Amino acid sequence: MIRIEDLELFVRTAALGSFSNAAREADLLPGQVSAAVQRLERELEIRLFARTTRSLRLTKEGEQYLPYATEVLAMLKEGREQLHGEQESLQGTLKVAAPSDLGRNVLLPWLTEFREAHPKLVLRLSLSDRVTDVFRDPVDVAIRYGVAESASYVVLPLAENNRRVLVASPEYLQRRGRPRTLDELVMHECLPYVLGGRVYDRWVFPANGVRRQVAVKGSLLCDDAEIARRWSLAGKGIAYKSWLDVYHDVTAGRLEVLIPDQPGESSPLNMVCPHRRQFTPAVRYLHAELRERTVAMTATMREHTEFREP
C-alpha cells in the first residue's frame, strides 16, 4: 500500500533535486527520504529516479507519475480543508515568492499585516528577480509581473492595468534637463536592468498600435530592480519601472514621471498558482486583500500621467 508520506517525499525530492534537500526541508535524514522513495518504487514496480553519484533526475516514468502524485496530495489537502471549513482560523505554512523591489517596498508590510491577522499561519517569503517555477520551486504562489508564459499556470489578476513609467529625481532633472520625447532618451543616462545575464537596454513603448523599441544607454547596471530604483532616487539616471514599484516615490515627490502623455509598456501584476487545487483558504484570502490594495494604487496612475486606457 502506498504511503502518503512517501508520496510527499517523492514530490519534494523531484522539486528540490536531491534527497538531502528534501530531507532538510522535512527535518529527516537523507537515508530516510531515499528509503521512502524506494518503498514507493517497489509499490509501483517502476524506477522514479535515475541516480548517480553526482546527480538525481526523474526517469521518464517518474516524470509521467509526478503530476498524478501532486494531484493526489492536493486533493487530500483540499478535502481536509473542506472538512474543517474556511471559517476556522487560517493555519499551516503559506510560501510566497515575489519580485525583490515590489516585495520589499510594497508587499512586505501588507504580508506582515496579513500574517498578524491570522496568528496560526506561518508565512515564508522569498524575494528575487529570478522567475520562480511554481511547479518545481517550494512555493504555493508566485507574484509576477507580465503575462504568464505557460497555459499550465492558473493566473489570478492583481493589477491588470499596471504599466511601466519613466521616472527620474528632481535633482537629476535639474542637472540634466527633462526629456520631452522618447527620441531624447538617447541623450540621457538611463538605468537598464540585467536579468539572467542579459542587459535589457531596449525599452518598449506602445505607439500608434505598434511596439516601439528605444535603445538606451547607461553606465550603472544591476540585476536587482531595487538598486535601479535607488540609483534613480539618488539622481544617477532615468529608470523605467512598474508604477507599483515607484508609486510611493512619485506621490511623495522623490521621483517625477517623465513624458506623461506617452503610455508605458503594460506590466500586469498576477498571482500565479500551479493548479486550481492550490487555492487554499489562505491563498484566496491573500489574493482578495492584495488585489484590493494594488487596484487602488494603479487607479492613482491617472493623476500623474496624461494618457488614458483605451
Q: Which of 91-95, 121-125, 304-308 has the lowest mean pLDDT?
A: 304-308
Tell whether 285 is covered by a domain: yes
Banded pLDDT at 71 (limits 50, 70, 90)? confident
8 Å CB contact between 73 and 4: yes
Residue 130 has pLDDT above 70, yes or no: no
User: In the predicted model, is pLDDT for residue 236 greater than 80?
Assistant: yes
Q: Quick check: 271 pLDDT over 70? A: yes
pLDDT score recorded for residue 145: 87
Q: What pTM was computed for the model?
A: 0.68
Task: Please check whether residue 244 lies inside any domain of the structure.
Answer: yes
Task: Count Cβ atoms below 10 Å from residue 95 Cβ, excluding itself.
Answer: 16
Query: Of 35, 66, 84, which residue is a domain's last?
Result: 84
The whole-chain average pLDDT of the chain stands at: 86
Task: Report pLDDT digits (tens) over 211-232.
Answer: 899 999 999 998 888 899 999 9
CB 275 within 8 A of CB 74: yes
Task: Mention every residue, 6+ apart, whose C-beta is less than 8 A from residue 202.
Answer: 213, 214, 215, 216
Query: Closest by alpha carbon to 272, among 167, 82, 142?
Result: 142
Specify whether 104 is located in the same domain as 243. Answer: no
**Number of folded domains that form the chain:** 3
Whether the Cβ atoms of residue 189 and residue 176 lie closer than 8 Å to each other: yes
Dist. CA 10–CA 37, nearest whole Å: 6
According to the model, what pLDDT value does residue 186 have? 92
- Confidence label for 308 from pLDDT (cuts 50, 70 and 90): low
**What's the CATH number where 108 sits?**
3.40.190.10
Q: Are residues 215 and 175 in the same domain?
A: yes
Residue 51's beta-bridge partner residues?
A: 56
**Same domain assignment for residues 111 and 71:** no
Domain that holds residue 220: 164-257
Task: Output the pLDDT for position 136.
Answer: 56
Terminal C-alpha separation, the chain: 59
Q: Percentage of the chain with pLDDT > 90? A: 47
How high is the pLDDT of residue 151? 53
Domain for residue 80, yes or no?
Answer: yes
Three-state helix/strand/coil letters over the chain: CCCHHHHHHHHHHHHHCCHHHHHHHHCCCHHHHHHHHHHHHHHHCCCCEEECCCCEEECHHHHHHHHHHHHHHHHHHHHHHHHHCCCCCCCEEEEEEECHHHHHHHHHHHHHHHHHHCCCEEEEEEECCCCCCCCCCCCCEEEEECCCCCCCCEEEEEECCCEEEEEECHHHHHHHCCCCCHHHHHHCCECCEEECCEEECEEEEEECCEEEEEECCCCCCECCHHHHHHHHHCCCCEEEEEHHHHHHHHHCCCCEECCCCCCCCECCEEEEECCHHHCCHHHHHHHHHHHHHHHHHHHHHHHCCCCCCC
Work out whether strand 141-145 and strand 193-195 pair parallel, antiparallel, or are unpaired: unpaired
pLDDT above 60: residue 52 = yes
Q: Are 108 and 67 in the same domain? A: no
**Contact yes or no for 114/282 (Cβ under 8 A):** no
Q: What is the CATH number of the domain that holds 9?
A: 1.10.10.10
Domain end (from 28, 50, 84): 84
Q: Specify the pLDDT at position 310.
A: 44
| Chain centroid to CA 232 | 23
pLDDT digits (tens, 9 = 90+) for 132-169: 544 556 678 889 888 655 556 678 899 999 999 999 99
The answer to whether residues 123 and 188 belong to one domain is: no
Claim to verify: residue 102 and residue 80 sit in the same structural domain: no
Q: Among residues of the chain, what percentage have pLDDT more than 70?
A: 88
pLDDT tens-digit profile of 75-122? 887 776 665 555 457 788 888 989 888 999 999 999 999 999 998 899
Whether residues 281 and 217 fall in one domain: no
Whether 309 is covered by a domain: the verdict is no
Helix axes 4-16, 60-84, angle to 10 degrees: 120
Residue 137: what pLDDT? Answer: 60
